[in-house]
Structure 1
Amino acid sequence: MIRPESWLAGTFLIGTLALWAGRLRTAKVLLTTALLALITIGIFPLGLILIAPLEARHPPSPALQEIAGIIVLGGGEEADRWAASGEIALNEAGERFLAGIALAHRFPDAPLLFTGGAPRLIGAGPATRSLAETIFQAGGIAPERILIEDRARNTAENASLTLELLESLDSATPNSDAPWILVTSAFHMPRAMASFEAAGWTTLTPWPTDFRGGVFRARIGWHLARNLDELNLATKEWLGILAYRLTGRAL
């Protein structure tokens, strides 16, 4: 219910019910408000305004020398589609995998770790593990270099369970001299970095990818579906940052 589209749908619904109940004044206010909001969102890319400061927090392609390993956050995979078709399935955030594979080829001795897989309470983990392994191996990464953490349901668990996995394997610690590279979408990087730091990571270098921003003026026009999707995304991320700070899951 935090998504703007849910508020729009709810306003239209309540306005329609008020209309049928004979509450004409209330119906006019609600339906007019919802219609004006819908038109505004359809014409103006409001999500870009909210996404821009998130994506500007960490510059792309920072200078790298020696690294301890590469961490790719989940979210770019479509495990359900892969399970149904048997074909690799990625979504808009699939650049996370591409960036991770490119870094793994650039640093051939570094382990490549994927974390994610259970955004729902049940069912997604095993399929996501297999899909992530398949994507990395299709990208030319040797199986022995691949590490998978498939229990995390959110960004905070990405951070804590990844640390737990590495400690159980006696791998390079998050406080080693060489940094671990964190790969995720640029808009998500501020919350991801804050979550990993709260979990105890100190030598971490952000590698943002999947940039969603653009020039505001160039995007003015009727693009309702895209604008609404971006606004939903930006709203979710900012509320996520606020919630994580209030609950101590991010610094």
Structure 2
Amino acid sequence: MFFYVSKIAWLVATPSTFLTLLIVAGLALSLFWRRVGMTLVTLGAVGLLLLGLGPFGRIMLVPLEARFPTFADDGRRVDGIIVLGGAELPGVSAARRQPSFQESAERILAMGELARRYPEARVVFAGGSGLMRKQAAQEADVVRLALPQIGLAEERVEFEDTSRNTAENARLAKELIKPLPGENWLLVTSAFHMPRAVGCFRAVGFPVTAYPVDFRTTGDPGYFHLFGSVSEGLSFFELALREWVGLAVYYLTGRIDSLPPGPLTDQPAGGSPSR
């Protein structure tokens, strides 16, 4: 139920959709109540321009991306690598019969690079589908198609292919992996998504080491730097807003235990908690 409620709520709350509906509603109301209608039209249009051209998306993304440092190999043994889904385009992949990815494809590139760097480590991909409607292919199916392109044999990778969100990624990955105490597992996902992902893994009792990829900002919020187009700025803002809302909802529903999760106090930069 949580999965479907969250998806439906976001469909309506997406800023670009909400503000566009506000403009349409305002135009309709202006036929009968001109002042009320034009007020709604103005609010919607100004909102689109402010969120689309203003730096708000960057400002919200920077602290998420800075929450966990870039991974630095401290010499500890790496027992396994977990890569979260979300970069794949299953529908396009099935239609075109070749693996297709969106802008988070660095997750898959990192999987290939880490598998070669740590040849003794287990490699696990966690991801089924984050869509409400059933698709011809799952995220895991797309990754299987892409393995030859990143130089990995399919037998090297274990797949958890039924999870639909980050909380399920963590729970089902733990059930598949059955990690032993003291093992060091790298978690690969987008930098902005890392706080929620690490929080979910901690909540199910599976400590992981953050390996953030897919950075969207330089680290500079650029308070006085406008986006080049409304669509670009809205994309940044909606990405950041969705992640912050997700963090809040996960915290309130007990899926993470802090807001936002960050490195443990006894955890060195890029490493695991000291023992």
Q: 1:64 to 1:140 in 2, by over 3 A?
A: farther
Amino acid at match of 1:200: G
Q: 2:91 touches 2:136 (CA, 8 Å); kept in 1?
A: no
Identity %: 36
- Residue from 30, 33, 36 that aligns with 2:43: 33
- What is residue 241 of structure 2 aligned with on the other side? 235
Looking at structure 2, the residues matched to 221 and 77 of structure 1 have their Cα atoms a distance apart, in angstroms, of: 26
1:170 corresponding residue in structure 2: none
The 5-angstrom pairing of residues 101-180 of structure 1 reads 101-124=112-135, 126-167=137-178, 173=179, 175-180=180-185
Tell me how far apart the structure 2 counterparts of residues 5 and 126 of structure 1 sit (CA, whole Å): 28
Give the root-mean-square deviation of aligned CA atoms.
Answer: 1.7
Q: TM (normalized to structure 1)? A: 0.91
Residue 248, structure 1, aligned to residue 259, structure 2? no
Match of 1:76 among 87, 90, 94: 87
Correspondence 1:225 to 2:199: no
The answer to whether the 8 A contact 2:187-2:209 is kept is: yes
Match of 2:158, SS? Answer: strand
Give the whole-Å Cα distance in 2 for the aligned partners of 1:43 and 1:129.
Answer: 36
| Partner secondary structure for residue 30 of structure 2 | helix
Letter in 2 for 1:206: A
From 4, 19, 24, give the equivalent of 2:30.
Answer: 19
Kindly indicate whether the alpha-carbon contact (under 8 Å) linking 1:184 and 1:208 is maintained by their aligned counterparts in 2. Answer: yes
Distance (whole Å) between structure 1 residues aligned to residue 161 and residue 102 of structure 2: 18
Greater share of helix residues, 1 or 2? 1
Amino acid at match of 1:159: A
Q: Give the structure 2 partner of residue 190 of structure 1.
A: 195
- Structure 2 distance, partners of 1:221, 1:76, is 24
1:43 aligns with 2:42: no
Q: Distance in 2 between matches of 1:41 and 1:243?
A: 23
Identify which of 190, 207, 210 aligns with 1:206.
210
Q: Is the 8 A contact 1:116 1:150 kept in 2?
A: yes
* Distance in structure 2 (CA, Å) of the matches to 1:122 and 1:9: 24
- TM-fit CA distance, 1:221: 4.4
| Aligned-partner Cα distance in 1 for 2:105–2:241 | 21
Aligned counterpart in structure 2 of residue 57 of structure 1, from 38, 45, 67: 67
What is aligned with 2:270?
none
Q: Are the structure 2 counterparts of residues 122 and 11 from structure 1 closer, same or farther at C-alpha, using a change threshold of 3 Å?
A: closer
**Conserved 8 A contact 2:104-2:214:** yes
Structure 2 residue matching 1:245: 3-state secondary structure: helix
Aligned residue-pair number: 243
Instruction: Give how far 1:124 is off.
Output: 4.0
CA distance in 2 between counterparts of 1:36 and 1:129 reads 41
TM-score, normalisation: structure 2: 0.83
Structure 1 gaps, min length 5? 168-172
Superimposed CA distance per residue, residues 123-167 of structure 1 (whole angstroms, 9 cap, x where no aligned partner): 348543222122233211222220001100000000000011123
- 2-structure distance, mates of 1:163, 1:249: 15
Q: What is the letter of the counterpart of residue 226 of structure 1? A: E
